[in-house]
Structure 1
Amino acid sequence: MTKSQKIFFMLLPILILVTFLVSLNTGVIKIAPLDVLKTFIGYGTDQDELVLFSFRLPRMVLALLIGAGMAVAGAILQGVTRNDLADPGIIGINAGAGFAVVLYLYLVSGNAIEPNALTIYTMPIFALVGAGLAAFLIYLFAMKGGVVTPSRLILVGIGIAALFGACLIVIQLRMDPRDFMKATVWLTGSIWGANWTYVLSLLPWIVVLLPLAFYRARYLNVLNLGDSLATGLGTHVEKERRLMLFIAVALAGSSVSVGGGISFLGLIAPHIARKVVGPRHQFLLPAAALTGALLLLFSDYVSRVLIAPSSIPVGIVVAFLGAPYFIYLLIKTP
């Protein structure tokens, strides 16, 4: 590991911790750092305990989990497709997951989108189905002559996202106006529920899939060499490609189930990490996870304080940061 890589892996957790502590202290109800400490050791007021443990902490933990999951999903997609523009939000995977979750909640809750304890824990499964369907359609239509070009992948992905978006509008038009607005805000990228039930529904997916992705990272390095050379080195190319795609789709789908359609995070986090730690995925995937967690935690903080006491969907903040970089990459891509 180089000196710059060591500094990066030491600096990112410190920045995450600082952002976490600052975010704990700020919001509609401001809590002084000393009061935060008192609350954590059991000497805080009832109001401080309610605000910290019931609202802020679960929301911030979700931001960390979703940010890491989305970033690693984007890094895997970029590695598997050898396409720097690949991102779960841009190519339509998030749209497929969002459609499946809203349809599931709409059918189960009786023309509404009111999650209960059962639906919260099963939402990631249906999100995985929707994300998998989107990924299948994207590769089915993007493949031409056995090759998927970056520009074709993006264009087909945008088309698939538009298709799922149209289907979502049909469902939303049958909803109560309040549920319509709720679904609209969530689909722009808004952490669905700030409570520990949502954290527990997402945590197993992240805890299982992230270490698996880190463990299989070396195969992404081999796949980047090209199919012929990878096969010559003894790698079962299609088997490894399918497995890595499944991990990416599962990470993206489970993250969307509680965080909504947050676009560009899976694009910019891997690019930032790659510029510092290099292209080797043993370092790139953990670095992308830390970068994504920091970016989403910071974006969530900005979304809460920018127009306080009101808040804006965190997906808008991420899009504001990521859209210019996406345009820059699109211009650079031949």
Structure 2
Amino acid sequence: METAVSVASAARRRRNRGIAVMAVLTALIVGTFVISMNTGHIRLSPSDVTKTLFGMGTAKQSLILFEFRLPRIVLSVLVGAGLSVAGCILQGVSRNALADPGILGINAGAGLAVMLFISFYPAGSAAPAYMLPLLALVGAGAAALSIYSLAYRKHEGISPTRLVLTGIAVAAGIAAAMIVLTLRLDPDKYQLAATWLAGSIWGTNWKYVLALLPWTAALLPFAIRKARVLNVLNLGEQTAAGLGVPVGRERLLLLAAAVGLAGSAVAVSGGIGFVGLIGPHVARRLVGPKHQLLLPASALAGGLLLIAADTIGRSILQPSEIPAGIVVAVIGAPYFLYLLMRSK
């Protein structure tokens, strides 16, 4: 009886701690959101931002805030959350802490589809925003299907090590194809391709927010609903099957959710890597391994990481900008090396 009470008490403490951590992450996102609205080549003071938000700013201030900064800030949070949750799902399904949409080639597959679209779409017209997530989803899905097929063995199933190594090989092949494509582009299209490849939040208007939002709003709750399944899959395929989980079907559903989140995010943000690797690791250290808390905490950690990276990239070398993908690598690499040194 006492053991059951102590277990329930420990679970309650972990849940309360997880909720407190997520509240802190949310507050940090809100604070960074406010700072980001005040940051840019044309400075808006906090009072200017407040007046503009309530409709009392000048036409120029409204244009800067509502048409340029706010869409980019919202996109940063959505993209960071999507990539981080996708990484968390992949790490849970593969039982490999190095799994990540970028490392496994999913981002590269989405990027190849977008690059093909850029290559053949007329240069003088704007690419339809709502098509990009669909195209990226097709590319990411094709890459994921190829990786899964190559890594699968009939009597062994999916080996975590084989999955990661296959993903790295496929990503390298796709990266080579993308380089060949960029070399054949005309100067106007090459500039867009270079911006995309560097990992810049380039879709900076509300069309791209509306294109990404349905995917994030649908797939994030689905992933959180599958938290218990991810917990069981972490115990191994045989144990999960013994507990009555249809391993093959659930794995495919979760992989599809990860592909959708990563592909739609990459379509509007470019080749931003590392978020899907670092976000879940940070969240796991803060709230523990249970996916009921880990998935939402990963979404918040990824959103915070990317909005902070984009804000730093816009402010550190004004009037020039550093792509958010580069800033994420600079921020994340030292911390990830620290995690590797601390791990047993």
TM-score, length-scaled by structure 1: 0.93
For 1:333 and 1:254, how far apart are their aligned partners in 2?
A: 32
Whole-angstrom CA distance in 2 between matches of 1:218 and 1:114:
46
Structure 2 gaps, min length 5: 1-11
Shift of 1:114: 5.3
Correspondence for 1:179: 189
> SS at the partner of 2:129?
helix
Query: Superposition pairs for residues 208-223 of structure 1, below 5 Å?
Result: 208-223=218-233
* Aligned-partner Cα distance in 1 for 2:160–2:341: 12
Q: Where do residues 302-321 of structure 1 align in structure 2 (5 Å cutoff)? A: 302-321=312-331
Aligned-pair Cα RMSD in Å:
1.9
Aligned residue among 92, 107, 112 for 1:79: 92
**1:146 paired residue number:** 156
Do 1:102 and 1:113's aligned partners in 2 also have CA atoms closer than 8 Å? no
Native 8 Å contact 1:96 1:131 kept in 2: yes
Give 1:154 deviation, angstroms. 3.2
Do 1:105 and 1:113's aligned partners in 2 also have CA atoms closer than 8 Å? no
Counterpart-to-counterpart distance in 1, 2:213 and 2:277: 22
Partner of 2:27: 14
* 2:100 is aligned with 1:91: no
Amino acid corresponding to residue 320 of structure 1 in structure 2: V
Report if the CA contact (8 A) 1:98-1:260 is conserved: yes
Q: 1:55-70, aligned counterparts within 5 Å?
A: 55-70=68-83
Q: Would you say the 8 A contact 2:195–2:202 is kept in 1?
A: no
Distance 1:319 1:286, change over 3 A: same
Task: Measure the CA separation in 1 of the matches of 2:339 and 2:102.
Answer: 15
Q: Deviations over 1:243-262 (max 9, x none)?
A: 00000000000000001111
Question: Number of aligned pairs?
Answer: 330
Letter in 2 for 1:82: R
Q: Distance in 2 between matches of 1:331 and 1:320?
A: 18
Give the secondary structure class of the aligned counterpart of 2:272.
coil
Q: Structure 1 residues 127, 332: CA separation in 2 closer, same or farther (over 3 Å shift)? A: farther
What letter is aligned with 2:330? F
Q: Tell me by how many angstroms 1:269 deviates.
A: 0.5
Which amino acid in the other structure matches residue 130 of structure 2? Y
User: Equivalences for 1:1-334 in 2 at 5 Å?
Assistant: 1-2=12-13, 3-107=16-120, 109-110=121-122, 112=123, 115-116=126-127, 119-143=128-152, 146=156, 148-326=158-336
The alpha carbon displacement at 1:333 in A equals 8.3
Q: Which structure's CA Rg is the greater one? A: 2
Please give the alpha-carbon distance, in whole angstroms, between the structure 2 residues aligned to 1:289 and 1:6: 14
Residues 199-242 of structure 1: CA deviation (Å, up to 9, x unaligned): 01001100111111111111111111112221122111111110
8 Å contact kept, 1:113–1:179:
no
Displacement after TM superposition at 1:331 (Å): 7.2
For residues 57 and 172 of structure 2, what CA distance do their matches in structure 1 show? 49
Q: Go from structure 1 to structure 2 and tell me whether the alpha carbon gap of 1:333 and 1:86 turns closer, same or farther (over 3 Å shift).
A: farther
Q: Provide Cα deviations, 1:161-204, integer angstroms capped at 9, x if missing partner.
A: 12111211222222112321320221121112110000010011
Question: Could you tell me how far 1:147 is from its partner in structure 2?
Answer: 5.2
Aligned to 1:120, what secondary structure does the other structure show? coil
**1:67-104 deviation digits (Å, cap 9, x = unpaired):** 11001000000000001000001221101100011112
| Identity across matched positions, percent | 54
